[in-house]
């Protein structure tokens, strides 16, 4: 009986260690900016190795706790080889120096693929996140609007997206955003920006079925 109990203890300990290891991939971290301590959330690959290089995705999030992930990977345990970061990047065009400090902090902590980041935007936060990328395009490799669009009234400003890969993912039942995405996509093509569009059959405005793997599979398309 004692031998059996010892074996059960070892099995339970191994399971607990495994659970702790997996949960430790998702964290609330901080960085310093002008004397302030600011939060961000991070989900690391399950087999994360600090010596390796990873694509890094940043999405809008309020970062109140480690579980406050950006919407399109909320609840995801497997990041599919991505480092997934949540931060307050919506309405951030008035905080460019803060964002630069944050992105440089991430570069110092992790081996960022291509030394550039990916981002995602959706619905009401999308115009401001596109604006952020246009303000600092040298920091970004790709942006996914899901459904999300830039303010497309200023073609000169849109040219700042040259060198950044853009993709629009929108549902065909989301009429307003689908039409806006089609217009933005064509405008970007016309000025020489690398842009693609995917229209999801029977897709709604909030594409719940794409949370996690569906989104990450699409993000993969923008990697060099």
| 2 belongs to a structural domain | no
pLDDT number for residue 12: 34
The pLDDT-based confidence of 202 (bands split at 50, 70, 90) is very high
Distance CA 133, CA 153 (A): 16
pLDDT one-digit tens code per residue, 141-158: 999 999 999 998 888 899
The answer to which of 2-11, 30-39, 69-78 has the lowest mean pLDDT is: 2-11
CATH of the domain at 69: 3.40.50.1820
DSSP helix/strand/coil, 140:
strand
For residue range 64-91, list pLDDT tens digits in order: 888 889 999 999 999 999 999 999 999 8
Q: What's the domain count of the chain?
A: 1
* pLDDT of 17 over the 50 cut: no
Q: Is the pLDDT of residue 9 over 80?
A: no
- Is residue 12 assigned to a domain? no
Give the pLDDT confidence score for residue 65 in this predicted structure.
87
Average pLDDT over residues 109-135: 97
- SS3 state of residue 205: coil
Instruction: Answer yes or no: is 16 within a domain.
Output: no
6 in a structural domain: no
Residue 10, Cα to own-chain centre: how many angstroms?
A: 38
191 assigned to some structural domain: yes
Neighbour-count burial for 133-149, b at 16+ CB within 10 Å, e otherwise:
bbbbbebbbbbbbbbbb
Give pLDDT, residue 152: 87
Higher pLDDT, 11 or 168: 168
127, part of any domain: yes
Residue 96 has pLDDT above 90, yes or no: yes
Is the residue at 155 inside a domain?
A: yes
Mean pLDDT over residues 123-149, rounded? Answer: 96
HSE (CB half, 13 Å, CA atoms) of 120?
27
CA–CA separation, 117 and 175 (whole Å): 30
Q: Is residue 104 part of a domain?
A: yes
Sign of CA dihedral 162, 112, 61, 221: positive
Task: Say if residue 117's pLDDT is above 50.
Answer: yes
Whole-number pLDDT of residue 68: 86
The yes-or-no verdict on residue 4 having pLDDT over 60 is no
pLDDT at 48 exceeding the cut of 60: yes
Domain containing 44 equals 27-222
Integer angstrom CA distances of residue 99 from 106, 159, 198, 216, 218: 11, 21, 29, 23, 25
At which residue do the structure tokens 């600011």 appear?
A: 38
- The encoded tokens of residue 201 equal 């059959």
């Amino acid at each position: 009986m004692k031998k059996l109990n010892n074996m059960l203890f070892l099995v339970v300990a191994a399971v607990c260690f495994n659970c702790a290891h997996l949960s430790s991939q998702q964290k609330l971290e901080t960085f310093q900016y002008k004397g302030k301590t600011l939060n961000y959330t991070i989900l690391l690959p399950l087999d994360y190795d600090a010596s390796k290089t990873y694509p890094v995705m940043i999405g809008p999030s309020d970062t109140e706790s480690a579980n406050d992930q950006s919407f399109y990977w909320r609840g995801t345990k497997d990041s599919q080889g991505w480092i997934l970061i949540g931060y307050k990047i919506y309405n951030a065009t008035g905080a460019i120096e803060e964002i630069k400090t944050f992105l440089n902090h991430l570069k110092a902590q992790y081996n960022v693929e291509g030394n550039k980041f990916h981002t995602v935007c959706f619905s009401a936060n999308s115009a401001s996140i596109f604006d952020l990328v246009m303000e600092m395009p040298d920091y970004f490799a790709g942006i996914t609007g899901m459904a999300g669009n830039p303010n497309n009234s200023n073609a000169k400003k849109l040219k700042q997206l040259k060198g950044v890969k853009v993709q629009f993912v929108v549902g065909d039942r989301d009429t307003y955003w689908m039409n806006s995405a089609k217009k933005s996509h064509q405008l970007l093509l016309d000025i020489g920006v690398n842009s693609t569009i995917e229209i999801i059959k029977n897709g709604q405005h909030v594409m719940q079925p794409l949370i996690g793997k569906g989104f990450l599979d699409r993000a993969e398309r923008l990697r060099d």
